[in-house]
Amino acid sequence: MNYEDTCFFPMFKRFGGVKRLVKALDFRYAVILATLFAVMSGLLSSPKEIISSLGPILIPIGAALVAVIITGLAIIVSTSDDDFVRILKKLEIYENILFPFWLSAILSGVSVIINILSYIAISIKIPILSINTYQINLNNYIFTLLLWLAFLSTFYALFSVISLIENAIKYGLYRGEIKATISTLARENKDISNKK
């Protein structure tokens, strides 16, 4: 594995790309929840008001998720030793362990950016949105879409971090099992060589 193989887009392509992300359950759950929240918010209040009240909450959530991702990556790296990493590379699963950290970091960053842009958008007056040719209020549609995107990005980032934590726990368990298996095999090989 070289440096280019550890960059996001080559790993994303090997991971299955957009098609795999869209088929993932956490993405589907995020879409369902974002739609429900956006519709409910639109029925209860104006999307603009919801964005202005939730923006200051959703932005730090995305930033906190990045901190959780960095902490999880630090735990994985600190518990890895050379022998274990060599085994994972030989089995060609090491990249599969690292990629979710990349993906979660990107999703959390996108969540922060979308929430910041949504929050900024409520204070900008765009002349074309005030045109009322067919008595349609484009403002509500656009801010409902922004609200939906804000919810979608936040929920998807949150679900990806939850999945990442699950994978980190599995990593620790598998590492323990593999280390125990290696030490058992080493003892058995030593016993066999001593009997000869």
Helices (H), the chain: 8-15, 17-23, 25-44, 47-79, 82-90, 94-121, 138-195
> Which structural domain, as residue segments, surrounds residue 149?
18-195
Q: What is the pLDDT of residue 195?
A: 67
Maximum pairwise Cα distance, the chain: 94
Q: Decide if 70 is inside a domain.
A: yes
Q: Decide if 164 is inside a domain.
A: yes
Cα–Cα distance measured from residue 170 to residue 176, given in angstroms and rounded to the nearest whole number: 10
Write the pLDDT tens digit of every residue in 150-159. 999 999 999 9
Burial group, residue 5, by CB count within 10 angstroms (0-12, 13-18, 19+):
exposed
Write the pLDDT tens digit of every residue in 22-39. 888 999 999 999 999 888
Q: Decide if 6 is inside a domain.
A: no
171: nearest Cα among 67, 63, 108, 81: 81
Q: What is the pLDDT of residue 108?
A: 93
Cα–Cα distance measured from residue 38 to residue 32, given in angstroms and rounded to the nearest whole number: 10
Both tokens of residue 30? 């995020």
Q: What is the pLDDT of residue 2?
A: 64
Q: What is the pLDDT of residue 134?
A: 56
Q: Decide if 9 is inside a domain.
A: no
Please give the tally of structural domains in the chain.
Answer: 1
Q: Could you give the angle at the alpha carbon of 187 between the alpha carbons of 183 and 188, nearest 5°?
A: 115
Q: Decide if 2 is inside a domain.
A: no
Write the pLDDT tens digit of every residue in 154-189. 999 999 999 888 888 888 787 778 777 877 877 877
Q: What is the pLDDT of residue 36?
A: 93
Q: What is the pLDDT of residue 97?
A: 81
Q: Decide if 172 is inside a domain.
A: yes
Q: Decide if 148 is inside a domain.
A: yes
What's the Cα-to-Cα distance from 49 to each of 61, 112, 121, 147, rounded to whole Å? 19, 19, 12, 10
Cα–Cα distance measured from residue 13 to residue 161, given in angstroms and rounded to the nearest whole number: 20
Residue numbers of the chain with a pLDDT score lower than 70: 1-3, 5-6, 125-139, 191, 194-196
Are 122 and 28 spatial neighbours (Cβ–Cβ below 8 Å)? no
This prediction has a pTM of 0.79
Q: Decide if 137 is inside a domain.
A: yes
